Amino acid sequence: MLGFYWPSSRGSEEERVTAAGAWGPNAWLRITPDDRIEILAEKPELGQGAWTYSAMMVAEELEADWSTISVQQAPTIPSIYPGLHTGGSGGVAASFHHLRTVGAQARKLLLIAAAARWDVPLSECNARNGSILHVPTGRHLSYGELACAAARLTPPPLESVQLKPTNEFRCMGRPMPRVDVLSKVTGQARFGIDVHVPGMLHAVIARCPHFGGQVAHFDATASYGVPGVRMVFPVRPLPRRFNTAGGVAVVADSTWAALQGRAVLRVSWHQGRSGQESSERIHRLAVAGAEGAAIYVAVDRGDVRGALRSAATTWQADYESPFQAHATMEPMNTTVHVRGQTIEVWSPTQFADEIQAEIAALAGLAPERVTVHMTFSGGSFGRRYQWDYAAEAWQVAAQVRQPVQLLWTREDDMQHDFYRPYNYQRLRAGLDGSGYPVAWRTRVVTTPIAATNLYTDTVETPEKLRDPATIAALEWFGADVTPYAIDNCRIDYAPLESGVPRSWWRGVSSSYTPFAKECFIDELAHLAGRDPLQFRLDLLPEHEPAAKRLRAVLQLAADAAGWGTPLPERHGRGIACRWGSTVHAQVAEVRVLEDGTVKVLRVVAAVDCGLAVNPDGVRATIEGGINFGLTAALCAEITVEHGRVVQSNFHDYPVLRLHQAPQIDVHITPSVETPSGAGELGAMLIAPAVGNAVFAATGFRVRRLPIDARQLRRRPAASGAFQSASLPPNERAFDLS
Amino acid sequence: MRRVTLSVNGRTDTMEVDPQTPLLWLLRDALGLTGTKYGCGIGLCGACTVHLDGVAVRSCQIAAGSIGSRKITTIEGLSADASHPLQRAWIAEQVPQCGYCQSGQIMQAASLLAENPHPTTEQIEAAMSGNLCRCGTYQRIRRAIERAAAGG
């Protein structure tokens, strides 16, 4: 491996050539004389394939030989690398233009260097597969052979380089193997938990389990009796910006000694102001919130009230989903070494630049004094967009003054997550005489993210958190019925107070709003006596571009799933779709066993995400999203008692296992449009697709997740697929008075 | 504290440890074999799976003092060059996403195929259902095992 290279945004010739002779035309790329190409990826690799798509974007424009490419994480220098974070399925779209430009700039310089070497016109030279070819004579020079000469040229500004037309792509759009796959089948991939620094100690923290509580008293006598335990000391809770619990740190020579030291620590807690909170209380408040005043009206089109009043049929239903944990396979951890006025951090994170800024602020240092090494993350799903665990690791390391790795156990991770918000949605609709929906109303009630998480794209100051639009911003998205053509529509929002920390979870609000919206659409289809696919297609205007894309993926998924073909008893198919920059549809096929267990047999997904940069990566992330969403739909939930999380490990938060994983077929719409994200799609639609399939199989309408198998026992199968009479008796049209 | 001798990947190491220390932490902290992962500490996720005399076990549930002369194999010792049929199949099917659970998945599958070279789908599901993957690579794991069982 080459010597560590600190790139510069200006890039003099000296800076462009490292001691090892590698040429760096820009900060993202190095080419060595022996034809190795190294790409510095800004986006962290969490499993979503960031390193691979980053390399593909550069390689495409560089016309590189894929077998010569390696990738490493770009260092945390935000002034040079502004994109050291990822989230919201935005990585591909955010990187697409820039990384192509990076490759194209280098290609241009290599072409100029080759033309000069041969003294031929530039127009006679072509770049292809890691070499420049002089077309008339067939001479060629490899990129490595040209690197030294290219280094003497002044790179053209990135803004000025010309990109390849999409019809000349040779790499993007084809399934490419992951650049990290070898390290991940041999145990060589290094995650945060694998960091070892000479002289490193190991720490765990006994945290106050009650949110907002604190240490009342602790006695470390027994802890100090454990061989290897070095230090036991209190760690104060950090304010909301970090939202750490605070507690007592146990620092030892080994992880096991630290765990043993914590196990025998005597500690008592003050419960704090959230001590009375419970899931049952949150549910009661939510039901009240479904009818109380809204703080924010997100969508208000037409005259919903009037349209509901004059509708031939009205319908109402409530949908509820609980808190959910991220439960990444690698629990939170961070290693920190505080050396006087400099700090070195190794962290599995999706937000390295923020960790640098936050630790610098805590320590009272300039950000440049904090070096952050972003490691592989063992899953993230939004969890590692928080920096609480890194801040805690700094708190411990600042006391210890030697390198220390803070490890969260699974129990710590399960009980101190930033959970997917609890949410409750009340939907009302009115149909005209022909069964067409003319009015739609959704009240979204959640424990809002903004109240426990200062960082959002729109929040810079605590004052802004009093702004209803800011509070609602992350909570209702995905609830709007667009592009379904329903003229009268109102979506509003009411928050719930809770001390439970909340944050991003794969799909954010779109992990729960489609569950309500797409199941309720299904309810309306049955109410109207219509096929749920045709009902949706009829709601999508013929000539509207977004609606057209949505129709295409709906039809693609339905055709591939054999929509409408007969199924055995207690089997059913359900369909769901969502619209955004990426459009997506899923058909789930389920079998409901006699004991009520829902077996998802097959899921067919259709996606239009523009150009699928790495189609196999798109497939993998949609498969993964579906499995992730199935845990929330079928298996697990987080509940709260006495202001603390009840669940603690995989015995009471049972995530999906292999025998429960359905066959998944992903169909990608061919496209050369600008790519858009796919990382959260699978998780968005699997709950409504399965819920609708369960209805088709049993006539029971799932309105709360995870699905309660007890409610599905020994119920008679639906006698006809689309009979509203098969709705359970608790259904009722609402009273408008 | 007690002197414990472990045979790991064909190498013998003797160390002074608490005999109750789970094998997992000795592999990771003392021997630097970090391919074996911590996931739950109670034997419910399979991330820490290694072989004891060729049979898959959860290393977080095995006390160092109870191992005796049994031979331990970790992912680092499965093959010298990623040439094990399962590693090749894992690459062919592009199984890993984050990769954190994959050492345990591969070790579990290797134990299955050693005992039963041609498992049925039900046998694969039974053998692999103790290994969790949050990225959701299950479909590819299933295919990779079938591929390896079919000879690559």
A336-342: long-range pairs with CB below 8 Å, 24+: A336/A390, A336/A393, A336/A394, A336/A396, A336/A397, A336/A403, A336/A404, A336/A406, A337/A197, A337/A397, A337/A402, A337/A403, A337/A404, A338/A363, A338/A394, A338/A397, A338/A398, A338/A400, A338/A401, A341/A365, A341/A369, A342/A369, A342/A370, A342/A371
Domain C-terminal end among A185, A218, A241: A185
d(CA B94, CA A203): 35
Express each pLDDT in A679-718 by its tens digit.
Answer: 999 999 999 999 999 999 999 999 999 999 999 996 554 4
Question: A287 and A267 in one domain?
Answer: no
Q: Does residue A734 belong to any structural domain of this protein?
A: no
Checking if the pLDDT of A731 tops 70, the result is: no
Crossing angle of the two packed helices B85-92 and B138-149, in degrees rounded to 10: 130
Q: Does B32 touch chain A (CB under 8 A)?
A: yes
Question: A601 and A453 in one domain?
Answer: yes
- For residue A410, the chain B residue with the least C-alpha distance is B40
Q: Does residue A561 belong to any structural domain of this protein?
A: yes
Could B30 and A656 be called an inter-chain contact, meaning their C-beta atoms sit closer than 8 Å? no
- For residue A46, the chain B residue with the least C-alpha distance is B98
Question: A237 and A286 in one domain?
Answer: no
d(CA B120, CA B102): 21
Question: A365 and A317 in one domain?
Answer: no
At B107, phi and psi to the nearest 5?
-65, -40
Question: A551 and A466 in one domain?
Answer: yes
Question: Which domain, by its residues, includes A671?
Answer: 279-323+420-726
- For residue B91, the chain A residue with the least C-alpha distance is A181
Checking if the pLDDT of A720 tops 90, the result is: no
Which chain A residues are within 8 Å of B35, Cβ to Cβ?
186-188
Express each pLDDT in A661-683 by its tens digit.
Answer: 999 999 999 999 999 999 999 99
**Of A422, A347, A414, nearest in space to A387 by CA:** A347
Could B41 and A410 be called an inter-chain contact, meaning their C-beta atoms sit closer than 8 Å? yes
Position A118, amino acid: W
Region A527-554: mean pLDDT is 96
Crossing angle of the two packed helices A91-118 and A50-62, in degrees rounded to 10: 30
Could B47 and A180 be called an inter-chain contact, meaning their C-beta atoms sit closer than 8 Å? no
Which chain B residues are within 8 Å of A187, Cβ to Cβ?
33-36, 74-76, 103
Which two three-digit tokens encode residue A85?
A: 């974070």
Which two three-digit tokens encode residue A429?
A: 């609709």
- Nearest-CA distance A419 → chain B (Å): 16
Q: Does residue A391 belong to any structural domain of this protein?
A: yes
Question: A290 and A200 in one domain?
Answer: no
Q: Does B131 touch chain A (CB under 8 A)?
A: yes
Domain C-terminal end among A380, A407, A434: A407
- A5 — pLDDT class (breaks 50, 70, 90): very low
Q: Does residue A731 belong to any structural domain of this protein?
A: no
Q: Does B126 touch chain A (CB under 8 A)?
A: yes
Domains of chain B, each with CATH number or no CATH: 2-78 (3.10.20.30), 85-149 (1.10.150.120)
- A725 — pLDDT class (breaks 50, 70, 90): very low
Express each pLDDT in B29-38 by its tens digit.
Answer: 999 999 999 9
- Nearest-CA distance A379 → chain B (Å): 5
Question: A458 and A394 in one domain?
Answer: no
- For residue A260, the chain B residue with the least C-alpha distance is B21
Which CATH number do you get for residue A354? Answer: 3.30.365.10
Per-residue model confidence (pLDDT) at position A401: 85
Could B100 and A255 be called an inter-chain contact, meaning their C-beta atoms sit closer than 8 Å? no
Closest Cβ–Cβ partner in B29, B125, B134 for A328: B134
Question: A234 and A85 in one domain?
Answer: no
Could A193 and B38 be called an inter-chain contact, meaning their C-beta atoms sit closer than 8 Å? yes
What's the structural domain count of chain A? 3
Low-confidence ranges of chain B (pLDDT < 70): none
Domain C-terminal end among A372, A407, A442: A407
A687 bridge partner residues: none
Express each pLDDT in A383-408 by its tens digit.
Answer: 999 999 999 999 999 999 899 999 99
- A735 — pLDDT class (breaks 50, 70, 90): very low
Per-residue model confidence (pLDDT) at position B151: 93
Q: Does residue A733 belong to any structural domain of this protein?
A: no
Is the ipTM of this structure higher than 0.90? yes
Closest Cβ–Cβ partner in A254, A329, A663 for B134: A329
Checking if the pLDDT of A737 tops 50, the result is: no
Question: A65 and A19 in one domain?
Answer: yes
Question: A101 and A149 in one domain?
Answer: yes
Per-residue model confidence (pLDDT) at position A626: 98
Express each pLDDT in A143-171 by its tens digit.
Answer: 999 999 999 999 999 989 999 999 999 99
Question: A550 and A516 in one domain?
Answer: yes
- Nearest-CA distance B40 → chain A (Å): 5
Per-residue model confidence (pLDDT) at position A641: 97
Which chain A residues are within 8 Å of B90, Cβ to Cβ?
181, 185
d(CA A584, CA A608): 6
Express each pLDDT in A236-270 by its tens digit.
Answer: 999 877 889 999 999 999 999 999 999 999 999 99
Checking if the pLDDT of A541 tops 80, the result is: yes
Question: A292 and A269 in one domain?
Answer: no
Q: Does residue A735 belong to any structural domain of this protein?
A: no
Which two three-digit tokens encode residue A573?
A: 């198919």
Q: Which residue has the higher pLDDT, A725 or A577?
A: A577
Mutate to test the interface with A, among B97, B102, B108, B143 (most CBs of A within 10 A): B97
Q: Does residue A291 belong to any structural domain of this protein?
A: yes
What is the DSSP annotation of A261-281?
A: HHHT-EEEEE--TTTT--HHH
Express each pLDDT in A6-30 by its tens digit.
Answer: 444 444 555 566 646 789 999 999 9
- Nearest-CA distance A410 → chain B (Å): 5
Per-residue model confidence (pLDDT) at position A32: 95
Express each pLDDT in A331-360 by its tens digit.
Answer: 999 999 999 999 999 999 999 999 999 999
**Gyration radius (Cα) of chain A, Å:** 28
- Nearest-CA distance A659 → chain B (Å): 5
Could B45 and A650 be called an inter-chain contact, meaning their C-beta atoms sit closer than 8 Å? yes
Per-residue model confidence (pLDDT) at position A728: 39
Checking if the pLDDT of A87 tops 70, the result is: yes
Q: Does residue A7 belong to any structural domain of this protein?
A: no
